[in-house]
Every structure is written in C-alpha cells, then in structure tokens.
A = this chain, B = another copy of it.
Amino acid sequence: MTSRDRFFAACRCDSLERPPVWLMRQAGRYLPEYRALKSRHDFLTLVRTPELAAEVTLQPLQRFALDAAIVFSDILVIPEAMGQGYHFKDGGGIRMDFTLDGAGQIEALAAGAVRERLDYVAQALRLVRRELGGETALLGFAGSPWTLATYMVGGGSVDAGARLKALAREAPGVFGTLMEKLAVALVDYLKMQVENGADAVQIFDSWGALCGDADYKQWSLDWIERVIAGLPPGVPVIVFAKGMAAHAAVLAATGAHVISVDWTCRLRDVRAAAGPGVALQGNLDPVLLNATPDAVCAGVEAVLRDADGMPGHIFNLGHGILPEAKVENVAALVATVRAWRKG
C-alpha cells in the first residue's frame, strides 16, 4: 500500500493497520537545511519562488518516511493576491500593509485575481508532484475565511479579534461581503491547487476559538462549509480547528472529511461527538518534539492507543512543529507511527 493510498484510505475512514503520518509545519526552521536556505533567501522569496518552495516542501520527505507532503506557502498569500499585502516586523510577527477599514476597501478587494497572482503556488505543486510521483500524498492548504479576516481586519496585531468581531456584529452586510469574497477566492485557490497536483487540502481555522460558542457556526464554520461545497467532490478536506475540539459535531457538519484537533482533547471523545463518518487528525503536543526520543515514543503511543480501533485517523501534531524541535525526535515520531499495528 503506498503512502498516498493510505492517506486516502484514512480520509475515507477505511480500517488501517497503522495511520498515515505527516506533521504540520514539517518543512520549517527546525531543519538545518531549511535554515541554510533561509539564510540566503527571505521567507517571502522562498514562498514566491516555485523551485525554492518545492525544495523546502521536499526537505522533510528526504529525511523522514512521511506519508504526505504539504506545499510550502503561507496563508496570507490570499489577502496579498486580493490586494492587501503584508510584511514582517523587525521584532517578529507580521503586519498587513493596511487594515481593512470600511466597506470601500472591502469592495476593492479582488477575489478574481487569485489564480493568476498565485500561479507560483501552482508551479511549486507541479514540481513537487513530479518528484513525489504517485507514492506520497501531496496536500494543499489555505486559511479559513474567518482566520484570514482576523488578519485582514485586525491588521495583524493581537487584538483578540476585536475589530473583526465588531465588524461582524455592527456591519453584518459588510462582513458578509468580505467573507463572500474570501470564500470565492479560496474555492478558486484550492481548486487550482488540486488541478496542479494536490491530493487533498487543509483549511486552517487557527483563530476559530476567538469566536464565542454562539457565533462560531455563523462567523466561521458556515463559510468553511461554503468553501468545501465549492470544491470538486472526492477531494478530501481537512479542517484544523485549534482550540475547538469540543465543537466536533458542528465541525463535522461543514462537510469536512477530516477534523484536525489539538492536544487538549481525547480523540475518542471527539469521535463520539463527531460521529462515525468523519476522520480525525492529530493530536500530539508539538513541544514533545523538543524533548527526548523516549518521551516522543511514549507520547506517540498514547495518541495511537487513544485512536486505536478508530477507522479514519491521520497521525499529526496538535499544532505546528516548533523551531526548537529536534530532528531525531521527529525521526522517532515517524518510526513509532510506522511500527504501530492496530491492537
């Protein structure tokens, strides 16, 4: 069974001896070969140059027997392609070049230019697909409408979503226009990724937990549902719902094929709430990768036992790999998952 077949089987909730494994931010600063490239090119150059993005995408696959690659890119390429650029601040963190401040600026966003402006992502995917052949799954990704809008309306500062929530409450029509444009752009972008080699896509709703329980569906999940409905049937969609595992039932109702959860929950509890038709992804605490191989093995096995007998599990972290992660720990993680046999 190829890694790619295993990945698709998990998304379909087929029973498997061991789950497929990949890791959020598996291409990144913890890898010396990534840091070497980064010392010669800035982050946005890596993202925008197809050959470099492909090289970074493939770096972790050359070290570890991962079942999937995920194209190296950034969620904020979408606002940028719509006309709202961003830059990195000197002290760390990002800032949008301007904040969306009213209906006029939102009207001016271009939802139709995404394919053309993000052609470099399509090129990177084709390069990666050529290297991977049919053996390994290749994932595309994007931020959710809500999560992108927190940056676009908040400007990139940590404002706890205050500006975006005010917009959603006080000017629901303008909020709806923004989310509609984002949904259109995201459907176009994710379709482009699939047409250029992505087997599946992950939608990162990293800031969904800024929504209150009462607003989560209307402000975030309904728009994710809208994006999923616009994608070609048969393409698995993973929704990463940081901090919102307790909302598994409404998450499953978006049409997501896979729900990706963080480490604060038990997969068996999420499964009980989500129902049998949806696969789960997760949920090792990423800081374990800063520790020791023994600690990693114990943690991985705890997750595998939690998920045991559960058809439809993709092994992953509960959040992205930290820059301090140790390469030998990532190797131990992958080896432990691959050695697992369903109990």
CA distance A343 to B184 in the complex (A): 43
Residue of B nearest to A324 (CB): B162
Q: Restricting to A199-252, which residues have a CB under 8 Å from any CB of B? A: 209, 211-214, 216, 243-247
Stretch touching chain B among A42-50, A114-122, A284-292: A284-292
Interface residues on A, range: 35 or more
Contact (Cβ within 8 A) B263 A169: no
CA distance A246 to B286 in the complex (A): 21
Tell me how far the C-beta of A179 lies from the nearest C-beta in chain B, rounded to whole angstroms.
18
CA distance A65 to B287 in the complex (A): 44
Q: Restricting to A158-199, which residues have a CB under 8 Å from any CB of B? A: 159-162, 165-166, 169-170
A265 at interface, CB cutoff 8 A: yes
Residue of B nearest to A299 (CB): B212
A295 at interface, CB cutoff 8 A: yes
Contact (Cβ within 8 A) B264 A209: yes
Contact (Cβ within 8 A) B160 A213: no
A75 at interface, CB cutoff 8 A: no
Q: 5 A-B contacts, Cβ less than 8 Å apart?
A: A162-B324, A170-B295, A211-B264, A212-B263, A213-B266
12 new A-B contacts, CB < 8 A, other than A91-B91, A162-B322, A166-B295, are A160-B322, A162-B324, A166-B287, A166-B290, A169-B291, A170-B295, A212-B299, A213-B265, A214-B306, A243-B264, A244-B264, A247-B264
